[in-house]
Amino acid sequence: MKKIQITAAAALLALLAGCASVQTAQGPNLNNLDLTNDGKTIAHINVQNWGFYFLWMPIAAGSAQSVGKTAWFSEDAVNVPDAVAIATREAGNLGASKLVDLTSDRSSAMIPLPIPFLFYMKSVNVSGNAIK
């Protein structure tokens, strides 16, 4: 019985692991419209990162260095500066010279189980328009 509980807890933690992701809208998705007056639109970029924390220490968070991978107990990357770094890196990779109309949003929510005020889920969202 104890093995089943440990396996279930490990599977649940793996499913709930933090993640960083980048999505872009470009080409036909923009219907030949520019998103700014300042130059040629390359893409609209959206970065999301979220993770789980014990008090202020990260348990599992999306990695800012390896987007799409989870950093366990090490990287506190769920913040606006790291999300902006991911967005600007992606804009540069797409050949953009500027990232304009940058917006960000961050949030934190307490997880009431097993003991309130100890576990939190944090998330950050950054988006902007990559132009040349």
The predicted structure's pLDDT at residue 122: 93
The predicted structure's pLDDT at residue 77: 82
**Model-level pTM greater than 0.75?**
yes
Sites in the chain below the pLDDT cut of 70: 1-18
The predicted structure's pLDDT at residue 123: 95
The pair of three-digit structure tokens given for residue 41, joined into one six-digit string: 């639109």
Task: Look at the block and give the residue holding tokens 């220490």.
Answer: 57
Which residues have C-beta within 8 Å of that of residue 42, sequence separation ≥ 6? 26, 91, 94, 95, 96, 130, 131, 132
Which residues have C-beta within 8 Å of that of residue 7, sequence separation ≥ 6? none
The predicted structure's pLDDT at residue 2: 65
Question: DSSP letter string over 79-106?
Answer: SHHHHHHHHHHHHHHTT-SEEEEEEEEE
Question: DSSP letter string over 69-81?
Answer: -EEESS----SHH
8: left (phi over 0), alpha (psi -120 to 50) or beta: alpha
The predicted structure's pLDDT at residue 25: 87
| DSSP-derived 3-state class of residue 111 | strand
